[in-house]
Structures are given as structure tokens and as C-alpha cells.
Amino acid sequence: MSQAIRYARYGGPEVLTLDDVPLPDPGPGQVRVAVRAAGVNGIDWKLRRGFVDRGQLSAGPAGVGVEFAGTVDALGAGVGTGTGTAVDLGAGAGGWRVGQAVFGRVLSGAVATHVPADVGNLLAMPAWLSFEQAAALPVAVDTAWRTLRELDVKEGHTLLIHAVAGGVGLVAAQLARARGVRVVGTASPARHDFLRELGVRPVEYGGDGGDGGDGGDGGDGMAGRVRAAAPEGVDAVLDASGRDVLAMSVELAGGPDRVVTIADGRAAEYGVRFSRGTGGPPLAEVFADVLPLLERGALRVPIERTFPLERTADAHRLSEEGHLLGKIVITVP
């Protein structure tokens, strides 16, 4: 048997249950991973609340979580020693093997003791990463890398990031800084000293500093603070907050084509692109660029807090509250 965090109806964290489920079999081109850690992302609780209805409850209880780290537990058909796909994705000359430490992503169900995963969404885990650190990476790194490419920010540009202290925001800020981009970011004052260490110019969120989030309310006060922090002007905006900042962002950037959001479902109303994690580059391409930065400490993804599997509901509550520095991670015995 296996165990998985699931929900049978939409609602708050209280709908999550830890269920005994049959041990999943890996399909063709998949491996089964014994999960050691899983990341928590905003999409997890938005799906659970029914804000993003993918019809996931039509066939019964749905799993949660899209990123994980663990060890290969079983190989599906067409996966094994000498598999070309595995070599291409960094599994090594021998291909994927049982017992190998890996990290990656799935569509859902990562918060479990076992999860089947396509090898195309899997990477061999370097020895210098812990399972908790690796589980925090796939979504934040992939999203940050993708949105920076969509915004086409270059050396000498100024990038404004809303919710810069969250997982995606922190990675995007550090990748941009590594490319010679100036970064201004909205965040709660408690995060400002850390952000300055990364070379980010922090700006307090909200028109009056009191909206309680890490994004902003779009008020003139915050726009004025951004202009003061970036007297050279803003060339592009990444909204990772979803807290009604798009109108202000379009004004600051000079047009909707210079703004991307990953969090505000009203993007079309403002002519802004909503960036989704579909059709992007493979993880191997993204991490070929990012892993060297992580290894030498030029990129940091802090873990705000870890929770054991049976306390996943508490992890979701914290994620919904915001005020995070980096990522929340679920640990699996």
C-alpha cells in the first residue's frame, strides 16, 4: 500500500485527508518515485478550493502537489539501463535505476509516499542537494526561467517583481540579477534586509502598507514608491502576487506587452499575458542553466518551513496566508 493526501470535495484545508491507496504502477516511459519531500505552491490550494477547476473530482478524490524529490522505486516499460531519454536528462550513462535520487514534477499527486512520473519531467538529484531543497525547486525555477524569457529582460533593464519574496519571485530576481538586470520588488518590510542582500531594491506593498499581502493593492502610494526606487523607469513587470496590481504595472511598464502575471486570472482584462506552465522548455534545459548557479551559491531558494505528511493541511494554511520567504515543503517518512 501507499499513502496520499487527497480531497473529495472543494473547500479549505480541512477537506484534506491522508488516505491509504494502492501502490501506483509506473506506466510506459515512467518511473515510480518513493517520495521524500514535496513542495507546496499556490496552485495546490487554488485547485483544492475549486478556483481552478480541471474536473479533477469527476473520477473521485484528487491528489495534491506537483513537485517532489525522492528515490526511484520501480521502472516502467521502456525505462532502464541505457535509456536515451534518461541519459539526456542527466540520469547518467547507465540510465535510470532503482534507488537513484531524483526530483521533478507531475500534474498532481506529489504529496504522497509514492508517485509515478514521466522521465521527461524528472532530473537526477545532485549529491549536494537535500531532498527538501530539491523538492522546492521545479515549479519556482521553471516558472521564473520561463517568465523572464517571455519578458525578454536584458542587461541594463529594470524589472519590477510583485511578491518578490515568494518562491518564484526570489528565483526570478536572482536569475535576473545574474544577467545584469536591475530588480525592484514589492514585499513586506520584514523581508527587505534579505532582499537587499540579493541586490534587490525592496518596496513596501500596498497603497498604505496595510493590505496584508506580499503583492500590493495597486494604489498610488506603492506606484510612487516604485518610481522612487527605480528613477530610471521600469522596463518589465512580473506579477507573482495576483493582488490587483496589473493596472499599475501596465502604467509603470508603459504597456501591457511588458507585463506578465502568473497569479491574476483577470489578465485578459488588462491585455496582459497570463503565463502558464504548458508548452515550455523541458526541465533539463532549464536546470542546465540554473543548477550551476545553485551549486556555487549564486542562487538561493530559502525554505520557509517544513511540515510532515500528516500536517499537509497546516502547510496549506500557511501558504494561503502568505508572508512567505521562499517555499514550504512537506517531508515524507
The CATH number of residue 251's host domain is: 3.40.50.720
Same domain, 11 and 54: yes
pLDDT mean over 39-54: 89
Give the pLDDT of residue 94: 53
Band of the pLDDT at 271, cuts 50, 70, 90?
very high
Structural domain includes residue 290: no
Do 158 and 268 belong to one domain? Answer: yes
Question: 266 is written with which cell numbers?
Answer: 483577470
Kindly tell me if the per-residue pLDDT of 61 is higher than 50: yes
Q: Is 189 found in the same domain as 112?
A: no
Q: Which residues pair with 259 in a beta bridge?
A: 237
Query: At residue 270, does pLDDT exceed 80?
Result: yes
Per-residue pLDDT reduced to its tens digit, 250-267: 999 999 999 999 999 999
| 191 and 123 co-located in one domain | no
Model pLDDT for residues 80-115, shown as the tens digit of each residue: 754 434 334 455 545 799 999 999 999 999 999 999
Of 69-83, 89-103, 141-155, the range with the lowest mean pLDDT is: 89-103
Q: How many CA atoms lie within 13 A of 220 on its CB side?
A: 0
- Please name the residues in contact with 265: beta carbons below 8 A apart, sequence gap of 6 or more: 242, 274
Contact of 216 with 242, CB cutoff 8 Å:
no
Q: Do 72 and 133 reside in the same domain of the chain?
A: yes
| Confidence grade of residue 26 (pLDDT, cut at 50, 70, 90) | very high
CA 171 to chain centre: 9
Percent of the chain with pLDDT over 70: 90
128 within some domain: yes
Could you give the CA distance from residue 43 to residue 166 in angstroms, rounded to a whole number?
Answer: 13
Q: Per-residue pLDDT averaged across 112-121, rounded?
A: 97
Mean pLDDT of 15-29: 97
What is the Cα–Cα distance from 167 to 66, expressed in whole angstroms? 14
* Same domain as 63, residue 10: yes
Tell me the pLDDT of the chain averaged across its residues. Answer: 91
Domain count across the chain: 2
Tens of pLDDT, residue by residue over 179-221, are: 999 999 999 999 999 999 999 999 998 764 334 333 334 445 8
Cα 331 to Cα 62, 134, 158, 166, 312, distances in angstroms: 20, 12, 37, 20, 9
pLDDT at 211: 40
pLDDT of 215:
36
- Give yes or no: residues 150 and 268 share one domain: yes
Residue numbers of the domain that contains 263: 143-274
CB contact at 8 A, 272 and 250: yes
Poorest-confidence range of 6-15, 56-65, 67-76?
A: 56-65
* Residues 84 and 177 reside in one and the same domain: no
Q: What is the mean pLDDT of residues 119-129?
A: 96
Give the domain CATH number at 53: 3.90.180.10
Segment 19-36 mean pLDDT? 97
70 in the same domain as 30: yes
- The set of residues, in sequence order, having a beta carbon less than 8 Å from that of 278 and lying 6+ positions away, is none
Comparing CA positions, the residue from 170, 167, 165 lying closest to residue 188 is 165
In a domain, 110, yes or no: yes
Q: Residue 81: what pLDDT?
A: 56
CA 175 vs. chain centroid, Å, equals 14
pLDDT tens digits for range 273-309: 999 877 678 999 999 999 999 999 999 999 999 999 9
**pLDDT for 322:** 82
Instruction: Note whether residue 279 is domain-resident.
Output: no
